[in-house]
Structure 1
Amino acid sequence: MIHSPADLVLTRRGLRFMGRHLPCSIGKGGIRADKREGDGATPVGAHRITGMFYRPDRLAAPQPWAEPIRPGDLWSDESGDPAYNSHVRAPYPASHEALRRADPLYDIVLVTDWNEGGEPGKGSAIFLHQRRRAGYPTEGCVAFARPDLIWLARHVIPGARLIVRR
């Protein structure tokens, strides 16, 4: 596969982007080609960055195209829900994940196109976000130290490819 300088290339060793190496955490289930909801795996493949959310009460917008996370912003993670794997608003009866969190993990969220069509059971909410601490795995997302995530968010463009390799 030919890479452009705008590609984000992820392996178990970290993420390479614009000539920089960014240490990161991946899913506790490893990198898998057969990603399923709840398996904790980061899906292998070429995914696109399709959006960015940020907490305007905690930091400035990293890019003009970033959307503020407002109270009541959620992400549907209930397989079979018509809005599965998409941004929804509270009150929302189906299972969901809050985008506005008390901790800083979702102060910046880069959204990928993983399972953009919402195929039931294929997995949801595969984001790039802040990590808890070095070496602490995610539920399938890719997580970075805050300074690295801010740098990444300031340089990535919509549609950039996130290439995940084993």
Structure 2
Amino acid sequence: MSKPQTSIEELQENVGKNVGQSEWRSIDQQRIDGFAELTEDPQWIHTDPERAAKESPFGATIAHGFLSLSLLSAMALDVLPTIKGQVMGINYGFDKVRFMNPVREGSKVRGSFTLLEVKRRSDNKWQLRHGVHVEIEGQKKPALIAEWLSLVVISS
């Protein structure tokens, strides 16, 4: 299934509007353990379910904050439109990231994206700023909020 395409001009008209919500993604122990192995962060609050159940204030293992953040790329693919003439998109970084609520093992998360800014950087490069909330299914407080910057390169 192909994604909708939009122009830079159409994007500019939609600044301030919600772009959409991604699919829900499960945060199970296998995903948490895999992330811990890849990032060399085996802290017990993430990787030891028995100890976390007894000693952690969360009552279970929790996802790494950076695991929730790293899922933004996949979530964005679910939601963000392809831009006409786009050659590539580049992760440009974050102006703000706050981890608001731990994601307990067994939870589901999804991203909600709002287009905040479209700014020309050069003849064929545009910087986009999205406000992102990563929601936890069944909870009011999000896992994280962020302002995410990307750079879009358009064919000349």
State the TM-score, normalized to the length of structure 1.
0.21
Q: Which has the larger radius of gyration?
A: 2
State the TM-score, normalized to the length of structure 2.
0.22
More strand by percentage:
2
Higher RCO structure, 1 or 2 (CA under 8 Å, sep 6+): 1
More helix by percentage:
2
